[in-house]
Amino acid sequence: MDAYSKPPLRVLHVVRQYPPSVGGLEEYVRQLVERQSGSSRVTVLTLDRLFGTSRKLKKVQRVNRAVVVRVRYIGFSRFFIPFLSPKLLRRYDLIHLHSLDQFTDLISIYRRLGVPPLIVTSHGLFFHTHKFDKLKDLYFRTISRVTLSQAKKIFAVSHSDQRKLEEIGIRSEVLLNPVEPFPWLYAGGHHLIYWGRIAENKSVDRLIPFFGHLVMADSTRKLFIVGSGTAADMERLNHKIRAAKLTDNIHRLGYLDGAKLQALIKDCGFTVSASQYEGYGLVQVEGMSAGLLPVMQKNSAFEEIFERSRTGLLLDFADAEIAAERFLQWEKTQNIQDRERARRFALGCAWPPAAARIEATYQDVIASET
């Protein structure tokens, strides 16, 4: 490095779960980290256990070109307290916080103790289920409002998140979740696939009666469920599949790496999600890049994808029979042009412009601190 070149920016990404955990939030951070690690010194700060497990992960680990630091915590997925010293945070030039949780709350307090400037990406905030709605709303309007006031910049991953932040007087910029597009994989298949986290708010169990009606119309059709969750969530899902007598048609596959997932997608024609709440809908856009059409529960994030892409189908999976009837009628109207339009939309959501915008924001924030 010559005397006039700037040292690489030291960036700390903070996210409650990171690979080997699997989910949209983890994948977003992983992809962003991989893009930044060529020009910056990137570290990921996360918790030392996956939610629902007791096995401790390595405290410090190099993953590709980034260092992952894991800290102890007490609590569970909805509320946890990390054991974190501000001394660790002061090693960095900038801290990028992902989602609104107790990591973000604690580090915003440390901002008053001289830790680096903060950027927050919303990732759906924390309204993923209707449980404890009143308590969540109170927390959001008090503690979260103070937390977010300490951030130099806030990115909302959807217009829905932006509107929610406006309710408490917090300004944000919309930066839609970018995707790592798949190659074109559609090969005429008519099977359905869900991939992502198996969790309560994802309502994967609602897909079972819906799919049961599809099997009545076509016994060769299959539903692939790809993803992991707690042992209890997985057992409940398996029990419901067995009770519905759909074990020959519904295949639960757990986590698959990229190559195996792409091989499975080639047999499919549709992504499907009954999720009650989403911050954005990353999986649906990823599927569209491969030529699949999204079949989605009607919620604000999926409505936004539907309106912007002009592809897919919105359903209410609470009424499985009507949802299945609507799907079968709609399926007959779809053609290859619809799939090509879906892919064009997805390719427009690729990473390069989003990563460049994030990098420019880092530079602006650092400059404002000097």
Give pTM, 2 decimals. Answer: 0.82
Q: What is the pLDDT of residues 154-195, one digit of tens each?
A: 999 988 899 999 999 999 999 988 988 999 999 999 999 999
- Which tens digits make up the pLDDT trace of 31-52? 999 999 888 999 999 999 988 7
315 vs 77 pLDDT, higher one: 315
Three-state SS string across 128-157, please?
CCCCCHHHHHHHHHHHHHHHHCCCCEEEEC
Got the DSSP string for 300-335?
Answer: HHHHHHHHHH--SEEE-TTSHHHHHHHHHHHHTT--
Bridge partners for 73 per DSSP: 82
pLDDT for 325 beyond 80: yes
Mean pLDDT of 58-82: 92
pLDDT, the chain, mean? 92
Q: Kindly report, residue by residue over 219-258, the tens digit of the pLDDT.
A: 999 999 998 888 888 899 999 999 999 999 999 998 888 8
Tell whether the torsion through CA atoms of 281, 284, 289 and 293 is positive or negative: negative
List the domains of the chain with CATH numbers: 10-177+350-369 (3.40.50.2000), 191-347 (3.40.50.2000)
Q: What is the DSSP letter of 179?
A: B
**pLDDT band at residue 318, thresholds of 50, 70 and 90?**
very high
pLDDT digits (tens, 9 = 90+) for 352-362: 999 999 999 99
**pLDDT at residue 53 in the model:** 85
